[in-house]
């Protein structure tokens, strides 16, 4: 069983030396347990937080432990009545070829409904983050302006399309011409801004949002967010979903403050963690699944083969090298 463990904690940007490829025996399930072979490993920005010892909403990964991560896999052996060999499941198996989990920790996936890799993407944690963050916190109304940062990514692409379905005017922010073309032409937003190309981001945003900003779904923080904040309307809602521009900064971000705009415009600004809605995930998955089957919700995957390529792919994703939901294909 090949595994990738945390070898050391990164300072700033992670490097390949922070990871270690090791080999261990494949365990055997005990009562209630299931042995799963990993097929797709999901790489997500939150993993950068787990590599750090800093306090967060979830515990850090210890040095020497297997890197955490969501996986879509196939049941090899089961000592749990709910699963049999061949079943496709989703669970937190981590960066490894095989994992032993309690049956209660696994979600069964129906391969006839959608490609199984979507269980860690549009029909999994990132899709649910978009669904609950946008509809429960952002609450877009028809005709309002919704701005989405990291709009081509796993979460942002779903937010962009759901906001359109809700009848809002949607402005996406992404880095580079290819991602921007995708957000505009494929996802169907009303306007898109390449934050890497604009010298005056606030001015470009003002042009794209002539009626100001009512909902800001933020995946990035930093200068992009400061620019959006200059356009908040009265009683705007800001969904603080992610701060990827801060994750690799050794001492955190210090830029101009958005708080003045929050104060004068009485903006509602709320942090969100997708697990807060755990009891309602079935509802979210059912609606997202229907949107996908109806062709209203598109998704893009960026798949790299081989567990050994997970560290470099993860480091690249934190720098925006991914185009779509980042996945490692571990086995057929
Ligand atoms: P993505 O697929 O969007 O990949 C990350 C993207 O972030 C990159 O492709 C890049 O796109 C963008 N990015 C990287 N650095 C910067 C920067 N300095 N400034 C602006 N953009 C940057 O990842 P996910 O969709 O999986 O995650 C998006 C965000 O949502 C993350 O912040 C993540 O932590 C958060 N999240 C939060 C959850 C919650 O429960 N709160 C759950 C899941 C995710 P580009 O090339 O366009 O810059």
Same domain, 98 and 131: no
Which letter does DSSP use for residue 150 in this model?
Answer: S
CATH number of the domain within which 53 lies: 3.90.180.10
The answer to whether residue 270 sits within a structural domain is yes
* Statement to judge: residues 68 and 159 lie in one domain: no
Q: Ligand 1: which of 149, 153, 183, 328 to mutate, most ligand atoms within 8 Å of CB?
A: 153
Whole-number pLDDT of residue 260: 86
Q: Which CATH number do you get for residue 189?
A: 3.40.50.720
Does ligand 1 lie within 6 Å of residue 274's CB atom?
Answer: yes
Minimal CA–CA distance to 261: which of 210, 225, 288, 290? 225
| Domain enclosing residue 17, as ranges | 2-120+300-329
Q: In terms of domains, do 251 and 131 share one? A: yes
Closest by Cα among 331, 308, 325 to 23: 308
One domain, residues 110 and 35: yes
What is the number of residues in the chain? 332
Do the domain assignments include residue 286? no
Residue finishing a domain among 275, 292, 315: 275
- Residue 210 counted as domain residue: yes
pLDDT at 259: 86
pLDDT of residue 257: 76
238 shares a domain with 269:
yes
Candidates 136, 180, 125, 191; CA nearest to 158 is 125
Same domain, 205 and 238: yes
d(CA 99, CA 68): 11
Q: Indicate whether 254 belongs to any domain.
A: yes
295 falls within a domain: no
Q: Does ligand 1 lie within 6 Å of residue 220's CB atom? A: yes
Mean pLDDT of all residues belonging to the chain: 96
Tens of pLDDT along 87-114? 999 999 999 999 999 999 999 999 999 9
pLDDT attached to residue 57 = 86
- Enumerate residues 6+ apart whose C-beta is below 8 A from 239: 133, 134, 137, 138, 215, 216, 217, 218, 270, 272
User: In this structure, is residue 131 part of a structural domain?
Assistant: yes
Residues 6 or more apart whose CB falls under 8 angstroms from that of 31 comprise: 79
Same domain, 138 and 110: no
Establish if 281 belongs to a structural domain. no
Output the residue whose Cα is nearest ligand 1's atom 48.
175
Q: In angstroms, rounded to a whole number, what is the distance separating the alpha carbons of residues 203 and 42?
A: 36
Looking from the CA of residue 154, the nearest atom of ligand 1 is 25
If asked whether residues 58 and 188 sit together in one domain, one would say no
Interval 103-156: pLDDT, tens: 999 999 999 999 999 999 999 999 999 999 999 999 999 999 999 999 999 999
Asked whether residue 151 is domain-assigned, the answer is yes
Using CA atoms of 40, 287, 289, 277 in order, give the dihedral in degrees to the nearest 10.
Answer: 10
Kindly report the protein residue whose alpha carbon is nearest to atom 4 of ligand 1.
153
Taking the centre of ligand 1 as the mean of its atom positions, its distance from the CA of residue 268, in whole angstroms, is 22
Which value, to the nearest 10 degrees, does the dihedral of the CA atoms of residues 69, 72, 77, 83 take?
110
The count of domains in the chain is 2
Residues 22 and 137 occupy one common structural domain: no
Ligand 1 atom, smallest distance to 174 CA:
47
Which residue numbers in the chain have pLDDT < 50? Answer: none
One domain, residues 68 and 16: yes
Domain boundary among 259, 275, 291: 275
pLDDT score, position 258: 86
Distance from the alpha carbon of residue 265 to the mean position of ligand 1, in angstroms:
26
Locate the ligand 1 atom nearest the alpha carbon of residue 242 and give its number: 32
Res 253: pLDDT: 66
Q: Do 269 and 170 lie in a common domain?
A: yes
Q: Are residues 97 and 219 in the same domain?
A: no
What pTM did the predictor assign?
Answer: 0.96
Count CB atoms within 10 A of the CB of residue 81: 8
Q: Provide ipTM, 2 decimals.
A: 0.99
């Amino acid at each position: 069983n090949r595994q990738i463990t945390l070898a050391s904690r990164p300072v700033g940007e992670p490097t390949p030396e922070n990871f270690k490829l090791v080999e261990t025996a494949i365990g055997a399930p005990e009562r209630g347990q299931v042995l799963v072979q990993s097929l797709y490993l999901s790489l997500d920005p939150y993993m950068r937080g787990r590599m750090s010892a800093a306090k967060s909403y979830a515990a850090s990964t210890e040095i020497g432990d297997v890197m955490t991560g969501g996986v879509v896999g196939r049941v090899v052996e089961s000592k749990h009545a709910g699963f049999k060999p061949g079943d496709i499941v989703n669970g937190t198996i981590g960066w490894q070829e095989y994992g032993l989990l309690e049956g209660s920790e696994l979600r069964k996936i129906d391969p006839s409904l959608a490609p199984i890799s979507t269980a860690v993407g549009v029909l999994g944690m990132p899709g649910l983050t978009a669904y609950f963050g946008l509809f429960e916190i952002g609450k877009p109304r028809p005709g309002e302006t919704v701005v989405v940062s990291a709009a081509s990514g796993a979460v942002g692409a779903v937010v962009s399309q759901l906001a359109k379905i809700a009848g809002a005017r949607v402005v996406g922010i992404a880095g580079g011409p290819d991602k921007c073309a995708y957000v505009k032409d494929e996802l169907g937003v009303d306007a898109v801004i390449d934050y890497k190309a604009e010298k005056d981001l606030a001015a470009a945003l003002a042009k794209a949002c002539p009626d100001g900003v009512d909902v800001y779904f933020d995946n990035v923080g930093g200068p992009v967010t400061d620019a959006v904040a200059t356009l908040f309307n009265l009683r705007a809602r800001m969904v603080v979903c992610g701060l990827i521009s801060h994750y690799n900064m050794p001492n955190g971000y210090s830029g101009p403050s958005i708080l003045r705009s929050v104060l004068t415009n009485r903006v509602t600004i709320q942090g969100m963690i997708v697990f807060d809605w755990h009891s309602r995930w079935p509802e979210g998955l059912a609606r997202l699944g229907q949107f996908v089957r109806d062709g209203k919700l598109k998704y893009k995957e960026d798949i790299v083969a081989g567990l050994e390529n997970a560290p470099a792919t993860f480091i690249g994703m934190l720098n925006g090298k991914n185009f779509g939901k980042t996945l490692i294909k571990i086995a057929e």
